[in-house]
Chains A and B, each alone.
Chain A
Amino acid sequence: QTTYNVASLADFTGPYADVMKDLIGARRPVIDWWNAEVGKKIGVKLGIKDYDHRYDAAQVASLWPGIKAELNPIIVLGVGGPDVAALQGRLPSDKIPMVMSTAAYGFAWKPDPWIFNQRPTYSHEAAAFFDWLRQKRGGSGPLKVAIISSEASPAYVDQHKGVQRYAADNPDKVEVVEVVFTEVQPTDLTTQVNRVTRKGAEVIMIMTNTAAVVATKRALQSLGKQVPIIMSSHNGLAESGRAIGDVKQMEGDYEVYAMAAPTDAKTPGREFFEMLQSKYGLKAKWTVSAVQGLGQALIAMRAIEAAAKKVGPDKITGEAIREALLSTTISADDTFKILGNTKFSNEGPFPTQGLVASIATIKDGKYMEAAAGVPVPSINKW
């Protein structure tokens, strides 16, 4: 039995400290489970260690050499932008791949990846939703979309740029009526929301943060308008619902991401989660963050499995894992249907083809899946 290490980056003290409990809470049990049920069989044991990167690229950069020296990891579990920023230049020379939990960013969309996102970019996910909603709406005209974004972070800008690109390339499908810029904690959005609704927006996309969702929701409420909001994983229905006080107020709004939605339904993913709870001491709650952690860890585990199969359990290297990631398809069953069939390619850090997204909503006050297996369209680079 050969022991290898996995480095787990987490934001304990930075801006996303609140979701970390579920995210890393899900990673660890997956590895324990894998060690016990898969690793044992193939002769591989994995260790894992958490590092606090404060969601700060400088911190990641200063941590990384130490991680390499101390842990000599064969794979890294990353969180978000700063990890990509600080490590995308180094991983190729260090020959260690990184698997991300969040969606990808436009800035990391480069060929020959060492970084792998289980999900495409936020814009891809949004586009999948728009296509779905347009079909659901019926009719022929493009779906009129308003975007509430912010320049507080380049990641936010990236999101709306991607959607704008999609709209520009597919004028028959999506029309962006306006991009409204706000601060991280908007003072009041009534006038802005009023304006976009009068421009005929059929849906409002907010993938920045919950504060913006809450402010928009309040604006809609005070205007007496019913326009659905589409959110993403980090500011989704549950978070926004909590932030506004009651998830019932999010009735009719949506969240979209290329993973399973953490609904109450007895899905395979849910069963896997409960198994981890009962057998491997998983403490995280069944949230989007936990799903991200599960998906991410599973991708990593399956890649290691594939690599072990190829090069033998005692010869696994970061490079071999990357090879395995690029050459094998990780089937939906391998990830307990948390992800669809995942096939990475040399084109970019996320699967450019064959991805599917789930859409969740609040209906009659209950969180539930609105659609699953929604195909993610392809978008040209922006």
Chain B
Amino acid sequence: MDPAGVFATSFERDQALIRTRGQWVALVLFLIALVVLPHVLGPRLVAISTNMLIMAVVVVGLQINMGYAGQINLGQAAFMGVGAYATGALAIKFNLPFWLSIPLGGCAAAVFGFIFGLSAVRIKGFYLALTTIAAQSLFHFLILNLPQSWFGGSNGLTLEPAQIFGFSFVSETSIYYLCLAATAAMVLGAYGIVRSRHGRAFVAVCDDDVASGLMGINVVRTKATAFLIGAFYAGIGGALWAYYVRFVAVDQFTLFHSIWFIAMVIVGGLGSITGALVGVFVIKAIQESFVTLGPSIVAEFPSLGGDVVFALMNVFLGGIIAAFLIFEPRGLMHRWNILKRSYRLWPFPY
């Protein structure tokens, strides 16, 4: 939003994401920071950043699905898993290069998501959202019970590093850049989608699906599309994950992971792509600092005993999320918007 006194003079201007020079500068600086980050930070932080980037893709997808189209999605981890497995299988069996197998992994997840979304033909509201929980258990069941030669069954899949022109993405830094590029593209795409007619259709369907039907929006298709997009993002995230860890197993994609993704969306704020990114950053940062801090606390105060300290960490983490929900149920972005609004009105507060 513009500060007081700045007015949009054209429609392009009005629609642009970035409107003032200050914002441009900030964005460019941020991107530069992301690019030079591996050269400044230690490898642990780079690894964390890579992790965040992958999560960001998944959570941005969930944001479109949940924050825009209003469909709680408890299957995001499963969709991510489908992407990871598809990518893994394609890379191993057909030797596809990563720049093909990653998008195809996304597509596989998208198809899986779309199938669940299609139940919107009949099922509505909360019931629809909760059917995604079936995605989780189906995914788990299918992977473990389909022939081992397809997806490795209980053995999982082991991948070779991503390669291009003889360069392989083995080092932490190279993987980081791979993920950065993919995530940047996906996030930009997400901004595009939510600003287009599709994004509006999502919000409309979420607000009032009867009225949006009568506005010419194909409600079922829109809902299914929301799942499709959410799952596509999850799939891309899963594919990146597959190349990052280079081993894919069902227990890397559990319901509990989905719940954490949802927590990230909530903390960031529903209905904002930036919010999703903020949510990933905040939760992941807290989680990682606890993990890092924990052993040092135990080393400092051995009398406390490891398990107590660590259990307390869990409570902290849960408590922080709960606190967010109580004091800022609409997420960090909401608070930020209010701040911006008062800034815009400043110096005339009301």
Q: Mark A97-112, 1 if CB is under 8 A from B, else 0.
A: 0000000001100100
Q: Given the complex of chains A and B, what is the CA–CA distance between A21 and B128 in angstroms?
A: 44
- B252 touching A58, Cβ below 8 Å: yes
- A107 touching B152, Cβ below 8 Å: yes
What residues of chain B lie closer than 8 Å to A161, measured between beta carbons?
A: 153-154
- B156 touching A107, Cβ below 8 Å: yes
B14 contacts the other chain (Cβ, under 8 Å)? no
Closest to B168 in A: A93
B172 contacts the other chain (Cβ, under 8 Å)? yes
A64 contacts the other chain (Cβ, under 8 Å)? yes
Contacts A50-B295, A154-B156; A88 near B170 (Cβ below 8 A): no
* Shortest beta-carbon distance from B16 to chain A in Å: 35
Q: In chain A between 81 and 117, which residues have their CB closer than 8 angstroms to a CB of chain B?
A: 81-82, 85-86, 88-90, 93, 106-107, 110
What residues of chain A lie closer than 8 Å to B310, measured between beta carbons?
A: 12-13, 17, 52
Q: Which of A21, A57, A86, A106 contacts B307 (CB 8 A)?
A: A21
Q: Mark A66-83, 1 if CB is under 8 A from B, else 0.
A: 111110000000000110
Q: Mark B180-199, 1 if CB is under 8 A from A, else 0.
A: 00000000000000000000
Q: In chain A between 138 and 181, which residues have their CB closer than 8 angstroms to a CB of chain B?
A: 151, 153-155, 157-158, 161
B155 contacts the other chain (Cβ, under 8 Å)? yes
What residues of chain A lie closer than 8 Å to B309, measured between beta carbons?
A: 12
Closest to A66 in B: B44
- B48 touching A62, Cβ below 8 Å: yes
Contacts A13-B313, A161-B154; A151 near B140 (Cβ below 8 A): yes
Interface residues on A, range: 35 or more
Q: Which of B44, B144, B158, B306 contacts A12 (CB 8 A)?
A: B306
- A21 touching B306, Cβ below 8 Å: yes
Q: Given the complex of chains A and B, what is the CA–CA distance between A371 and B210 in angstroms?
A: 72
B324 contacts the other chain (Cβ, under 8 Å)? no
Contacts A58-B51, A161-B154; A12 near B43 (Cβ below 8 A): no
B217 contacts the other chain (Cβ, under 8 Å)? no
Q: What number of B residues sit within 8 Å (CB to CB) of A?
A: 46
- B51 touching A154, Cβ below 8 Å: no
* Shortest beta-carbon distance from A20 to chain B in Å: 7
B298 contacts the other chain (Cβ, under 8 Å)? yes
What residues of chain A lie closer than 8 Å to B306, measured between beta carbons?
A: 10, 12, 20-21, 24, 50
- B247 touching A89, Cβ below 8 Å: yes
Q: Which of B45, B154, B313 contacts A155 (CB 8 A)?
A: B154
Q: Given the complex of chains A and B, what is the CA–CA distance between A85 and B249 in angstroms?
A: 8
What residues of chain B lie closer than 8 Å to A311, measured between beta carbons?
A: none
A337 contacts the other chain (Cβ, under 8 Å)? no
B311 contacts the other chain (Cβ, under 8 Å)? yes
Q: Which of B43, B145, B158, B291 contacts A88 (CB 8 A)?
A: B158
Closest to A85 in B: B247
- B43 touching A52, Cβ below 8 Å: no
What residues of chain B lie closer than 8 Å to A17, measured between beta carbons?
A: 307, 310-311
* Shortest beta-carbon distance from A121 to chain B in Å: 12
B92 contacts the other chain (Cβ, under 8 Å)? no
What residues of chain B lie closer than 8 Å to A13, measured between beta carbons?
A: 294, 310-311, 313-314
B19 contacts the other chain (Cβ, under 8 Å)? no
Chain A contacts to B: CB under 8 angstroms: 10, 12-13, 17-18, 20-21, 24, 49-52, 54, 57-59, 61-70, 81-82, 85-86, 88-90, 93, 106-107, 110, 151, 153-155, 157-158, 161
